[in-house]
Amino acid sequence: MKKIIMVVMAVALVGCAAQTSPQRHAKNFAMHAEETLNGNMRTDRNGMYQQVLPQFNEIYAQGKAERVKGASELEAKAYADAVRKEAQKQNTVASHFNGSPQVVEKEDASLKDSVLWYNNLADTYLDGYHNVL
């Protein structure tokens, strides 16, 4: 009985593994982005997470590098604000189809998704600057 309880607790604790800042922000974006409203398509949240994670890792590394180069706190905040302002521009989203990879549908991103994307990028940059894991 004790062994069963120990196995259950070990499995439960594995789910509590700490995530890095880029992982948290990429997951936040993937889970809160708008759902595709099309009877022929399904939003793949895990696929979206895997696709955007490299960009979050890249901007996190950029924040760390800026800190090492000696960028001030004001410069870091100004850069993060500039990233956030990108959400006000018209952005496009490309949708890929699993059954036919050569078919790509491009459409304008909603303001909600743009704000979500750029806010998460800016926060990830600042986490890198402040060395938040």
42, 36 Cβ separation under 8 angstroms: yes
What integer pLDDT is reported at residue 37 of this predicted model? 65
User: Is residue 113 in a domain?
Assistant: yes
Full-model pTM: 0.79
User: Is residue 40 in a domain?
Assistant: yes
User: Is residue 88 in a domain?
Assistant: yes
Burial class (CB within 10 angstroms; exposed 0-12, middle 13-18, buried 19+) of 55:
middle
Q: Considering its fold, how many domains does the chain have in total?
A: 1
Structural domain containing residue 44 = 20-129
What integer pLDDT is reported at residue 6 of this predicted model? 67
User: Is residue 124 in a domain?
Assistant: yes
Going from the C-alpha of 81 to that of each of 10, 65, 120, 121, the distances in angstroms are 42, 18, 12, 10
Which residues make Cβ contacts (< 8 Å) with residue 86, sequence separation at least 6?
114, 118
Neighbours of 36 (CB within 10 A): 15
User: Is residue 36 in a domain?
Assistant: yes
Q: What is the pLDDT along the chain (133 residues), one digit of tens a residue?
A: 677 776 666 655 555 668 999 999 999 999 999 886 666 777 889 999 999 999 999 999 999 999 999 999 999 999 999 999 999 887 777 766 666 767 777 778 788 999 999 999 999 999 999 999 8
User: Is residue 121 in a domain?
Assistant: yes
Q: What per-residue string of b and e applies to 91-111 under the rule 16 or more CB within 10 Å gives b?
A: eebeeeeeeeeeeeeeeebee
User: Is residue 7 in a domain?
Assistant: no
What integer pLDDT is reported at residue 44 of this predicted model? 85
User: Is residue 99 in a domain?
Assistant: yes
